[in-house]
């Protein structure tokens, strides 16, 4: 993955600031505690997310005809299906008879010749058209009114699949980061593993956790702190999205003004993105983590991690390498540390007396995120 000019610029700014001993030139701010606890606010956010394209899958898990992926989208459970004609389609994950979920949301990606309701056996083909109703004469002709699963809008770009309940132009939505994601070169990459977890915490707490480097020394001391500098990151707005780099320890040995010439920039900094509103991309030195947080309740989030690698393991050594990386990041960093602290924060918020949470200069990207959510809702933070 070649270094992007935007990341080189951010890395140069970060290195200059480290050398000069300066703090980020951003204000300190606060976020209302109720933004994480209010049922009314949650309902408004969920309605907003229903209108936006959200990351729902990666290309590799739904590449073959018959591939089927269940997604607990922010607004409704969805099914992504690759038809026999090769077309990618999205439908609501609900039978048109009695609204039974057709494929469990915890189920791994699967291959189907048809979609069969587990309750009464209503059956749909891979386009979503209904093809069989047991004892159809018992419906007095009314079953004909429900001849297909309800469609949703889907699109694939840069190796990732987005879905929404409303039409969208993905290139326009990605805007300033569209070229960045194309340059990552992840189209055609292989899905090494996917993990799905339910978290007792507001979905924004999960996003917050990935928008600062202030916690690295304390929270990640037993996992990745040995690779990174604490509280050293540089970020910028890119439309509604956020582009950032976090300093690895090797950055201290680099020469300012030369980073654009380095083929190993990702050994010096770790680039990342907030793809508004609920997805984080972490660009590791040799693989990509795609992280999505789907709000299921005001204090319940479904967290999905897709680990994409340049190609499928071709040897036992490759498998050991990727397995070690996945275990460290997915189980050690994300599960045992980031998601653990999200649940601890949710419990603390429910007991706290302060009306606001305080965000310092090393946490300003999280303030940008909250400001963008508020702007999209037409409210103020």
Per-residue pLDDT tens for 225-256?
A: 999 999 999 999 999 999 999 999 999 999 88
Asked if 20 contacts 234 with a C-beta cutoff of 8 angstroms, the reply is no
Question: 54-158, superfamily in CATH?
Answer: Rieske [2Fe-2S] iron-sulphur domain (2.102.10.10)
Cite the DSSP H helix spans in 193-258. 203-209, 216-219
Domain segments of the chain as ranges: 5-49+189-377, 54-158
Compute the 3-state secondary structure of the chain and give helix, strand, coil in percent, each to the nearest 5.
Answer: 35, 30, 35
Question: 5-49+189-377, superfamily in CATH?
Answer: Naphthalene 1,2-dioxygenase Alpha Subunit; Chain A, domain 1 (3.90.380.10)
Query: Quick one: pLDDT at residue 380?
Result: 60
The CB-side HSE value for 144 (13 A sphere, CA atoms) comes to 3
Q: Could you please report the per-residue DSSP string of 57-103?
A: EEGGGG-STTEEEEEE-SSSEEEEEE-TTS-EEEEESS-TTT---SS
Query: Quick one: pLDDT at residue 75?
Result: 76
> Cα-atom radius of gyration of the chain, to the nearest Å?
22
Asked if 227 contacts 251 with a C-beta cutoff of 8 angstroms, the reply is no
Q: Of 273, 276, 268, which is closest to residue 289 (Cα–Cα)?
A: 273
Asked if 209 contacts 342 with a C-beta cutoff of 8 angstroms, the reply is yes
Asked if 102 contacts 81 with a C-beta cutoff of 8 angstroms, the reply is no
Report residue 85: phi and psi, to 5°.
-85, 0
Residues of the chain below pLDDT 50 = 1, 381
| pTM of the model as a whole | 0.94
Query: Quick one: pLDDT at residue 292?
Result: 97
Asked if 89 contacts 154 with a C-beta cutoff of 8 angstroms, the reply is yes
Two domains, one topology: 5-49+189-377 and 54-158: no
Query: Quick one: pLDDT at residue 1?
Result: 47
- Give the alpha-carbon dihedral of 328, 334, 338, 342, to 10 degrees: -150
Burial class (CB in 10 A: 0-12, 13-18, 19+), 253: exposed
- Strands of 123-124's sheet, edge to edge? 115-116, 123-124, 130-132
CA distances to 60, 207, 238, 278, 311 from 234, in Å: 31, 17, 13, 20, 30
- For residues 256 and 243, give the distance between their C-alpha atoms in angstroms, rounded to a whole number: 20
Sign of the torsion formed by the C-alpha atoms of 50, 160, 211 and 222: positive
Pairing of strands 279-283, 110-111: unpaired
């Amino acid at each position: 993955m070649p270094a992007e000019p935007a990341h080189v610029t951010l890395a140069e700014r970060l290195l200059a600031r480290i050398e000069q001993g300066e703090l980020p030139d951003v204000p300190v701010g606060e976020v209302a505690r109720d933004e994480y606890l209010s049922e009314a606010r949650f309902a408004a956010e969920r309605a907003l997310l229903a209108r936006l394209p959200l990351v729902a899958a990666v290309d590799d898990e739904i590449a073959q005809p018959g591939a089927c992926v269940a997604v607990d989208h922010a607004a409704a459970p969805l099914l992504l299906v690759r038809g026999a004609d090769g077309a990618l389609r999205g439908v609501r994950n609900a039978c048109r008879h009695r609204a039974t979920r057709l494929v469990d949301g915890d189920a791994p990606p699967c291959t189907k010749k048809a979609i069969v309701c587990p309750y009464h056996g209503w059956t749909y083909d891979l386009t979503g058209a209904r093809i069989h109703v047991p004892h159809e004469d018992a419906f007095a002709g009314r079953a004909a009114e429900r001849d297909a699963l309800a469609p949703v809008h889907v699109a694939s770009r840069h190796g990732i699949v987005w879905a929404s309940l409303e039409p969208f132009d993905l290139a326009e939505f990605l805007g300033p980061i569209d070229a960045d994601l194309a340059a990552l070169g992840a189209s055609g990459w292989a899905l090494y593993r996917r993990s799905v977890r339910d978290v007792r915490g507001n979905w924004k707490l999960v996003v917050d956790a990935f928008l600062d480097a202030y916690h690295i020394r304390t929270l990640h001391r037993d996992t990745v702190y040995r690779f990174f500098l604490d509280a050293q990151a540089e970020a910028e707005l890119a439309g509604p999205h956020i582009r950032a780099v976090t300093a690895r320890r090797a950055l201290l040995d680099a020469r300012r003004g030369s980073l654009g010439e380095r083929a190993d920039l990702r050994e010096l900094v770790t680039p990342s993105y907030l793809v508004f509103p609920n997805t984080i991309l972490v660009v590791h030195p040799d693989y990509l983590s795609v992280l999505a947080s789907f709000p299921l309740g005001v204090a319940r989030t479904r967290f999905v991690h897709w680990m994409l690698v340049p190609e499928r393991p071709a040897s036992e050594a490759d498998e050991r390498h990727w397995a070690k990386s996945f275990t460290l990041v997915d189980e050690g960093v994300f599960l045992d540390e980031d998601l653990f602290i999200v649940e601890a924060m949710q419990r603390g918020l429910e007991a706290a007396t302060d009306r606001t949470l305080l965000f310092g200069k090393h946490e300003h990207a999280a303030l940008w995120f909250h400001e963008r959510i508020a702007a999209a809702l037409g409210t103020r933070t």
